[in-house]
Amino acid sequence: MKPTLLLLSRLPDSFITRLREHFDCHSYSLLDDKRLMELAPTVRGIVATAESSVSGVLIARLPALEIISVLGVGYDGIDLEAARVHNVCVTHTPEVSTEDIADFAIALLLCTARQILNADGFVRRGEWAVGRHPMTGRVFGGRMGIVGLGRIGRAVALRAQAFGMSIAYTGRTPKADVPYRWCNDVQALAASVDYLVVCASGGPDTHGMINAAVLAELGHCGVLINIARGSVVNEDDLIEALRTRKILAAGLDVFCNEPNVSQALLALPNVVLTPHMASSTQATVQAMLDLTLDNLAAHFAGEPLLSEVQLTAIGRTCSEVLP
């Protein structure tokens, strides 16, 4: 018999077709409580995305659950402690999206600092015929601060080097294999840079890390870029900093309540908003789908997993909050 899977999120039809060749698949959103109770004893796997929430309550309701395969890099929506207690392995799809996310961070930085969207509107409204667009800040040679120098943070730094930027970062400890300047906390980092790029993992340890105090240190010429998790930034503090021009601008690909974006953010002219699309290239999404399926196939074949989340130490070490 095919192992039973619970599909927690909306997935491409072509991918569901591939899954059904090997598994008995059920969409969680289509199940009422009665049907879920009937199905629960047979569910051996969950397929989720980085935006999914897999609670300890749900894990406890599935006594046969063996694996949670996450389509995406982030897994802060998974109750890792519950997974560890119930001996459920968790996999995700790291590395395959690193380059695309780093590219997108630089795209957001250029778009915000050089006011590209405002300039586009300026041309479309016919204002160019009246006068020149206001001057913008320079990116080349600027100072970049990176919050979390993991895979993505390092890839962003590599790109920033091509722009002649000086690079500083914050993390748990200094890294011996990089030439960048280390700051022991995010507030000190913000005070010393022009562009602050958030690459840290989500979760309780980083919740609201970028707050009013950090933004005040970034200053009225500073730009914030977030391609990590919406929860890392205190959104109310950011809105106030943008509204009062305590910082120059922000570029956001992630939000606290996706896909619902704050009306206050939507009303601001000095923020660029994109729909959590940094990793959404055809090449990366296909690689994520393939790795998600490969992890499931390996597990049920009794073979080593390709990208397992280590659950032996729950907390900062496990989640790599600030690598």
pLDDT one-digit tens code per residue, 7-29: 998 899 999 999 999 999 999 99
| pLDDT surpassing 50 at residue 99 | yes
Maximal C-alpha separation, the chain: 72
Q: And the tokens for 182? A: 């280390």
Catalytic status, residue 258: yes
Instruction: Read off the pLDDT band of 312 (50, 70, 90).
Output: low
The residues of the chain that CATH labels 3.40.50.720 are: 4-96+283-319, 98-273
CATH number of 98-273: 3.40.50.720
Give the Cα separation of 145 and 169 in Å (integer): 5
Report yes or no on whether pTM surpasses 0.85.
yes
| 273-306 confidence digits (pLDDT tens) | 999 999 999 999 999 999 999 999 999 999 998 8
Would you call 289 helix, strand, or coil by DSSP?
A: helix
Q: Looking at residue 200, what DSSP letter applies?
A: -
With CA atoms as reference, report the closest residue to 6 among 93, 50, 66: 66
How many percent of the chain have pLDDT more than 70?
96
What's the confidence (pLDDT) of residue 75?
A: 85
| pLDDT surpassing 50 at residue 316 | no
What's the confidence (pLDDT) of residue 175?
A: 94
What's the confidence (pLDDT) of residue 307?
A: 83
Catalytic status, residue 276: yes
10: phi > 0 → left, psi -120 to 50 → alpha, else beta; which?
Answer: beta
Would you call 69 helix, strand, or coil by DSSP?
A: strand
Are residues 102 and 156 in contact, defined by beta-carbon separation less than 8 angstroms? yes
Over range 247-264, report the average pLDDT. Answer: 95
Q: Looking at residue 234, what DSSP letter applies?
A: -
Give the Cα separation of 13 and 19 in Å (integer): 10
| pLDDT surpassing 50 at residue 317 | no
How many percent of the chain have pLDDT more than 90?
86
| pLDDT surpassing 70 at residue 239 | yes
**Which residue in 66, 276, 308, 316 is the catalytic one?**
276
Q: And the tokens for 296? A: 């499931």
Give the Cα separation of 73 and 254 in Å (integer): 14
Over range 97-106, report the average pLDDT. Answer: 96
What's the confidence (pLDDT) of residue 315?
A: 42
Rounded to the nearest integer, the mean pLDDT of the chain is 93
SS3 content of the chain, % helix, strand, coil (to 5): 40, 20, 45
| pLDDT surpassing 70 at residue 100 | yes
4-96+283-319 fold:
Rossmann fold (3.40.50)
Are residues 202 and 233 in contact, defined by beta-carbon separation less than 8 angstroms? no
| Bridging pattern class, strands 195-198 and 181-183 | unpaired
| pLDDT surpassing 50 at residue 194 | yes
| pLDDT surpassing 70 at residue 318 | no
What's the confidence (pLDDT) of residue 273?
A: 98
Are residues 23 and 15 in contact, defined by beta-carbon separation less than 8 angstroms? no
**Which residue in 38, 95, 127, 258 is the catalytic one?**
258
Give the Cα separation of 105 and 139 in Å (integer): 13
Give the Cα separation of 240 and 257 in Å (integer): 18
Q: Which of 106-110, 160-164, 205-209 comes out lowest in average pLDDT?
A: 205-209
**Which residue in 151, 229, 235, 299 is the catalytic one?**
229
